[in-house]
Amino acid sequence: MARDLSRRELMHSIAAGGLVVAGTMTPLSSLLAYQDPKAVRGAQAPTAAGARTSATVVDGKVIQPRRELEILRKTGVLVVGGGPAGTAAALSAKRLGVDVTLVERYGYLGGLATGGLVLAIFPLYGGNNKPVILGIGEEFMKRLDKLKFGIVERNIAPDYPTIDAEAFKYVLADMVLASQVNAYLDCWGVDAIIDAKGSVRGAVFESKSGRQAILADVVVDASGDGDIYAAAGAAFEKVKDNIGLDSRIGNIDIEDLTGQNREHVTGNRDKIQGGRPTRGTPVVAFEGHVGSPTPAPHTNWINMKGPVADGLDVAEVSMLELKHRRALWNNLEKVRSKPGAEQAYLLETAPQIGVRLTRLLAGVKKLTLQQVKAGTKFKDVIGYSGGSPEFQIPYGCLIPAKLENLLAAGRCISAEMQVAETTRLIPVCWVTGQAAGIAAALSIKDRCKPRDVDIDKLQSELRQQGAFLG
Amino acid sequence: MTIWKRPPRLYVRLAFLAAAILLLWSSPKLLVQSSMFVAICSPIASRSISAGIGIGLAFAGIALLRSRWFCRYACPMGLLLEGVSRIGLKRAAWWSRLPQLGRYAALATITGALVGYPVLLWMDPLSIFSGIFAIRIAADLISGILAGALILLSLASGTVWCSHLCPLGGTQELISSVRLHFQIRDKTSPGLQGIAGRRAFIALATGAGLGYWAQRARAMQSKSEFLRPPGAVAERDFAGICVRCGNCVRACPSKIIHPDIGSVGLTGLLAPVVRYEKKYCREDCIACTRACPTGALQPLSMDQKRAYVIGEALLDASLCLLALEEKDCDACKRACPYEAVQIHWDEAQYVAYPIIDSHKCNGCGACEVACPADPIKAIRVWRITNDELRITNYKNRRD
C-alpha cells in the first residue's frame, strides 16, 4: 500500500476483500495490533463528506431517507451481544475454524455477569447436586480459579460460586483476543439485514463510526432482548419482569470475605429470632442491606430485584436507572449506621441495569414448565439447565419457527416465561450460547440452514468441547 | 389339653402372623381394623364408621362364643411376645395376683370414646404391632417404642401383657361376660357381676374424666407448633382417635410424617406430625389419608387433599435472602405447586420479598424445603391454631 491508509479505509478494503474470500480474511485481531505510527495528536484533515442522509421533518413527521450503509465487515458467524451467551457462542464457533464476528453494545464483555454485577453463577447443579453445566462455562470458571480473588465457592454444591466482575472481564478479553474472534465493542445492533426471501443476511449496527452493516452467513442473536430476530420479523412473546440494579459495596469490615470464612454474618442475620412471623406484609424495618460476599476482600455485592417494568421502554428503563442509583446511595447511608460498617462505601453501581426478560422467541420448540417438571428428554438436546430437578434444553428452542439463518441464544430463547426464569440465568446462557455458536458454524461448514444442522454432529461437537448432554 | 392339639394351634398362629404381615403390605388399615378394640372404640370416638371394622366386629362375634380365642389363635403381637418371653427371665409371676387390668383399660377407653377421647386406644396390640413396621432405615426408632416396651416387659416378666394388661384381651373378656350373663343355667359363672362393681365404676369414671381432661389439655396446647398430616380431624380429637399404628408414617413416600415426641405434649405422644426437612407433602399423593384405620386421618380424594390445609406458610423477611438482597432468590415461588407465592416489590422500602396467598397455600411445605436460608428457613409452614379457620379454608377451597 503506497499511501497511508486511514483506519476506516483499511477496514473498507478488508471488508471488500472479505466479500470475495469469506473465511480467509485478515482477523480483526491483527487490526487490534495496528497502530498508525504517524497518528498526530491535534487537528486532523477533514474526511470526505458522504451524501447527506440526515432525518428531515416532512409534514410534521420525521423521515429517515433511504441510504446505502457502509459495510463494516463480511463474516461467517455474526454474534450480536457479548454477554454470557454471546461470548460462549463466538468462542465455540471459532473453534470450528469459521470466521466469527462478535459485536457488543457496552465497552466490555460479559454482559450482566460483569457489567450487571450478577456475580452469582447459578444454577450449575442438578437435583442431586451433580454439576450439569460444563462445557465453555466450566472453562471460564477454571480460568477464574487461577486468578487471585477471581471466584469463590467452587464445587461445593448446593452452594454456588460467586465471581469477581473485573476478573471475568479480563478472562473474556483474553480469550477473545487469543481466539481471533473479530470483536467490535461500543457497537449496538439495531436492525436485521434480510434478503428478498426474508432470510437474515446480517445486522446493522450503530457506533461512533456511524450506522454500518455486517453481512454474515448466520446470525446468532445473543442480544438478550431478541433485538435482531424481532427486527427481522420473527414471532415472539413479549413479557415483563422485574428490573433491578446490582451494586458492590466496599470496606465492609464485618467478616473475612476472601472465601476462607464462609460464615454469613450480616447486620440482620445476627438478630435471628425464629419466632412465628405475622401474616401478610413483613413488619421488618430494613436497616441497610450489605448483600453477600464476593471474591474481593471486604467487598460485598448487593442484589436488587426491582419492580416489574418494560425492559424495551427507554422511558421506564431510564427512570429506573435513576431511582435505583438514588436508592443504592440511601441504602449506603443506612449501612454506615451499622457497627463495623461505618467506613463502608459504594464501590460501584452496575454499569448496566438488570433487565431480566423482555422477548421470548416463538421457536420450532417452546420449552414448557410441564416438560421441565416431567423431566422430558429431547432427541435434539443441546445441554442441561441446573435446577431441582435439572432439565434438558432442545435445539428447537434456539431456532425461530420460520425465520432462516438466525439462531437465538441466551435469555431470549423459546421457552415459557416460567422456564425462561431459569434459562435466562448465566450458566444456562453459556449452554445455549455454546450450542448456538457450534450449530451456526456447522451450518456454514455443511452449507445448510441452521434448522437443518445434523443433530448428531452438533451433539458430538458439543461433547468434544466438554458440554454435558446427559 | 392333649398333646396333639399343640402343633395345629402353632400352625394356625403362624398362618395368622403371615396374614397379618401380608395385610401390612397390601392393606395396612385392615390389620388394625381387625382389632375389635379399635373396631368398637374408633367409630364411637370419631362418630363415623368405615367398612373395614367388619373384620374386627367378626372377631368380636367369635369372642362372644369363645373368650380369648383371638389371643390364642390370631394375635400376631401375642405370638411375638410369647416367643420373646420364652427367652426372657423365668421369674416368679409376681403379677399373677394383679387384677386383670386389660378389661378396665378397655372399659375406660370405651367411655372415653363416648366423651370423644378414647384414652387408652394407643394400647391396642395390633396397632403396636403395626408400628414396628414403620421403623425405617435411617429414620427414627420412635415408631417401635411401644413394641419395644412390650418386648422388654415380656423379657422381664413373661406374659403379663397378654394375660393382665392388654385392652384387646380385656375387650374379649367384656364381650364374653355379656354372654355368660345371659346363660342363666351357668349359676357358677360371675357373668356381668364379675366385672361390675367398684373397679369397673372407677374405670368408667376414669375413662370419662381422662377423656374430658385430655380434650381440654389438647385445647390448651394450642400454642405449640406442630403439623398434622392431611386429612387429620380437628386437633382436639386427633390424638385420641389415632392409634399410633404408624400406617401413615409408613405410607408417606416423602417420609415427612413422624411419630411425635415432645412437640405436642403427653396426650399427643407418638401421634403423627409432619416435618418438612428434605421433602414436602406432594400434590399428587393421598397415601397417608388412605392408610389410616381409625379415621384420625380422613380418606381424601386428590382434589380434597390439595385443598386440605395442613398449615400456613409464613415469611420471616429478616431471614429472607431476597429481602436482604443477598441473592436473587425466588426458590419458594418456583417450588410452590399451587402458585401461592409471588415476589412482591415494596416500593416504599425499595425491596422485594415473597408474599403468600393464604387462599392458595395449603401448607405443603414445598417452599420451606426449597428455602436456602441457613440455618433457619425464612419461609416455614406454621400451624393454623384455629381449627375452624383451617376447616373454613378447606371448605372454601373445595367450592
Residues of A in contact with B312 (CB under 8 A): 279
Q: pLDDT exceeding 90 applies to what percent of chain B? A: 25
Question: CB A388 to CB B370 under 8 A?
Answer: yes
Domain annotation covers residue A18: no
- Whether B22 has a pLDDT exceeding 60, the answer reads yes
Q: What pLDDT is recorded for position A466?
A: 97
- A446 and A409 share one domain: yes
Question: CB B324 to CB A268 under 8 A?
Answer: yes
Number of domains in chain A: 2
- A349 and A382 share one domain: no
Domain annotation covers residue A126: yes
Report chain B residues touching chain A, CB-CB < 8 A.
225, 312, 314-319, 321-328, 330, 334, 343, 345-347, 349-353, 355, 358, 370, 372, 374, 376, 382
How is A391-417 classified by DSSP, letter by letter? Answer: EEEEGGGTSBSS--SEEE-GGGSSB-H
Domain annotation covers residue A21: no
Q: What pLDDT is recorded for position B163?
A: 84
CATH number at residue A146: 3.50.50.60
- A460 and A412 share one domain: yes
- Which letter does DSSP use for residue A383 in this model? E
Residues in chain B: 399
Q: Which residue of B has its CA nearest to A157?
A: B372
The range of the structural domain enclosing residue B367 comes to 312-382
The residue behind cell 431476597 is: B322
- B42 and B159 share one domain: yes
Residues of A in contact with B322 (CB under 8 A): 303, 305
Domain annotation covers residue B34: yes
For residues B244-271, average pLDDT: 85
- A329 and A373 share one domain: no
Q: How many CA atoms lie within 13 A of A387 on its CB side?
A: 27
Domain annotation covers residue B278: no
Q: Are A443 and A453 in contact (CB under 8 A)?
A: yes
- A372 and A443 share one domain: yes
The range of the structural domain enclosing residue A345 comes to 242-355
CA A53 to chain centre: 32
Q: What pLDDT is recorded for position B194?
A: 58
- Which letter does DSSP use for residue A363 in this model? B
- A107 and A229 share one domain: yes
Q: What pLDDT is recorded for position A201?
A: 98
Domain annotation covers residue A173: yes
- A283 and A430 share one domain: no
Domain annotation covers residue B240: no
**Least reliable range by pLDDT among A3-17, A116-130, A396-410, A455-469:** A3-17
pLDDT digits (tens, 9 = 90+) for A316-331: 999 999 999 999 999 9
CA A199 to chain centre: 24
Domain annotation covers residue A49: no
For residues A184-192, average pLDDT: 97
* A270 reaches B (C-beta below 8 A): no
Confidence of residue B198 (pLDDT cuts 50, 70, 90): confident
Q: pLDDT exceeding 90 applies to what percent of chain A? A: 74
What nine digits make up the cell of A40?
498526530
pLDDT digits (tens, 9 = 90+) for A43-93: 888 877 666 788 999 999 999 989 999 999 999 999 999 999 999 999 999
More confident residue, B387 or B15: B15
Rounded CA separation B94/A219 (Å):
93
Chains A and B form CB pairs within 8 A to the count of 93
Domain annotation covers residue B230: no
Strand partners, A400: A363
Residues in chain A: 470
- B196 and B318 share one domain: no
Residues of B in contact with A292 (CB under 8 A): 321, 326-327
* A286 reaches B (C-beta below 8 A): yes
- A385 and A447 share one domain: yes
| Domain boundary pick from B198, B218, B238 | B218
pLDDT digits (tens, 9 = 90+) for A127-147: 889 999 999 999 999 999 999
How is A419-457 classified by DSSP, letter by letter? Answer: HHHHHTSHHHHHHHHHHHHHHHHHHHHTTS-GGG--HHH
Question: CB B350 to CB A269 under 8 A?
Answer: no
Mean of the per-residue pLDDT values of chain A:
89
Q: Which residue of B has its CA nearest to A276?
A: B382
Question: CB B352 to CB A306 under 8 A?
Answer: yes
Q: What pLDDT is recorded for position B154?
A: 85
Domain annotation covers residue B283: no
- B199 and B329 share one domain: no
Strand partners, A56: A63
- A316 and A390 share one domain: no
Number of domains in chain B: 2
Domain annotation covers residue B266: no
Which residues 306-335 on chain A approach chain B with CB closer than 8 angstroms?
A: 306-308, 327, 330-331
Domain annotation covers residue A42: no
Which residues 231-250 on chain A approach chain B with CB closer than 8 angstroms?
A: 242, 244
Q: Please report the ipTM that was assigned to this predicted complex.
A: 0.84
pLDDT digits (tens, 9 = 90+) for A245-256: 999 999 886 544
Nearest by CB to B382, which of A276, A305, A421?
Answer: A276
Question: CB A292 to CB B327 under 8 A?
Answer: yes
Q: What pLDDT is recorded for position A32?
A: 55
Give the best residue of A286, A300, A326, A388 to mutate against chain B (max B CB count within 10 A): A286
